Amino acid sequence: MALAINVSSSSSSVISSSSFPSSDLKVPQIGSLRLLDRINVSAASLSLSRKRSSVKALNVQSITKESMVASELTEKLDVVEVEDFEELANRLENASPLEIMDKALEKFGNDIAIAFSGAEDVALIEYAHLTGRPYRVFSLDTGRLNPETYRLFDTVEKHYGIRIEYMFPDAVEVQALVRNKGLFSFYEDGHQECCRIRKVRPLRRALKGLRAWITGQRKDQSPGTRSEIPVVQVDPVFEGLDGGVGSLVKWNPVANVEGNDVWNFLRTMDVPVNTLHAAGYVSIGCEPCTRAVLPGQHEREGRWWWEDAKAKECGLHKGNIKENTNGNATANVNGTSTVVDIFNSENVVNLSRQGIENLMKLENRKEAWIVVLYAPWCPFCQAMETSFDELADKLGGNGVKVAKFRADGDQKDFAKKELQLGSFPTILVFPKNSSRPIKYPSEKRDVDSLTSFLNLVR
C-alpha cells in the first residue's frame, strides 16, 4: 500500500528541494520504511571501525577516510540507542502537548507516525500541524467502523491536506472468524479474539515499519489501565523497525491533559470532529462495540458494555496494565484487583504442573510441542503475546502443539530446576523423538523466528 508523507499546508514552505538527496522522491511505506536522508554504512565497515578504534595506530595514514566516517557514525548511532527515555519523560512531564509533539517529530522525523482513531485524536493532528514539521498519520480500518467515522477520515484528509495511511486486517483471518463464529461472536465469547484479528495484528504490522508512534492516550481515560502512562516511553508490547525488545518508542503528548481541556482546544481551533460525539459517544471504536454514555458515566463504559471486563482495553495498549507490589499485573475493576492472564488464544494449551510433568516424561511424542514459561505481569511476556497467539493460530492442526505454563509464584523453583527457566519468558521446544526439551536461545520472538527454529528442531 503506497503511503505519503503527510505535511500540513502551512508547513510546506519549510521543506526545500535541498532537504532530499535527489529530486526523485520515493513514497515511504509502513512495514518497509526507508529514511530519505539515512546514510548507508555497511555492517563490515562499522565492525572494522570498532576494531580499529581500540588499537593505537602506528601509521596515522593507514586509517582510511571511510573507516573514520564509519567510526563517527557509529558513535552517533550509539548515542541514540542508549538514550534514557525515562529521564526524557521526567524532563517533559510538565511540557505542553505542542512541545512534546514537536520534540517527537524532531527526534524521529519520517520514522514516526500518529495513530488516529477517528475520535478526539484529531487533536494530535492539529498539534502536529502547528509544529510546522512534516508528519505522518495512520489508522486501523477494522471494517466495522461507524459511517460517521469514515466520513471524518475524509474530512480530516481534506482539512489538513494529508493522506491517512490505512491498515487493514488480513482478509483470510476475518473470513475464517466470520464463517466459523458469525458476525457477532464477541457478544458471546468476548471481544479479544475479534480485536486481535481486526486491530492488534494490523497495528503490529504498521509499527514494524516505524521507530516511534504517537497516541492520544490520557491518564483520565481509564483509571484502571491508563492512570500512570508517561508522556514518552519505550513501548513494552510492540516491536519497531529494528526488531526486538526496546526497538519502538511510544509518545503520549496529551497524557497529562484532561478530557475537557482537549475538547476546549478542539473547539478553539475549530477542527473537524466525529459527529457521533454530539450524540453522546465519547470513546469511539467499532460500531458493534461502541455506544453512547449517559451523563455521569465514565467514557470507557461505552465500550464492550456486555462484558464484566478486567480491563477495558482491546490490546493496542496492553502495556498500560500496572504491576502491584507483588509483581502481578492488575487492572482495577469496581475497586478490586485481579490478575490479567495472557496468551488466551483458543489454540494455546494451558498446562498445569501435572500436565507439563507428564509432557516431560513422554519419550516418543506424536506431536512436537512449543511451550512458553511465563508470568502474566512480565512486560516481556506481554510483548510477545500477539506473536505467540498468532503462532498458535498458524500451527493449529499442523503437527505442533502450542502451550503455556505459568511459571511464577509457587511454580518458579520447579521451573528453574526442571524446565531451564532463567528469565521470563522462557520458550521450550519438546521434539517428537526426544525426552529433553530444547530451550529457544534468541530474544527474537516474532512468528517467523519461532517458526524457523521449530522447523529446525521439531
Catalytic site residues?
378, 381
Task: Cell numbers for 314, please give them.
Answer: 482491546
Q: Rounded to an integer, what distance in angstroms lies between the CA atom of residue 252 and that of residue 115?
A: 11
Distance CA 197, CA 347 (A): 14
Phi, psi of 31 (to 5 degrees): 100, -25
Helix axes 43-53, 65-81, angle to 10 degrees: 90
DSSP assignment of 396-423 equals: TTTTEEEEEEE-SGGGHHHHHHHS---S
Closest residue by Cα to residue 35 from 82, 80, 83, 101: 80
DSSP code for 197: I
For residues 450 and 457, is the Cβ–Cβ distance under 8 A?
no
Among candidates 304, 410, 338, 421, which has minimal Cα distance to 374? 421
User: Which position has the grid cell 491518564?
Assistant: 219
Is residue 382 a contact partner of residue 235, using CB atoms and an 8 Å limit?
Answer: no
Looking at residue 199, the DSSP 8-state letter turns out to be: I
**Backbone φ and ψ of 333, nearest 5°:** -130, 115
* Cβ contact 106:11 at 8 Å: no
329-333 vs 336-339, strand pairing mode? antiparallel
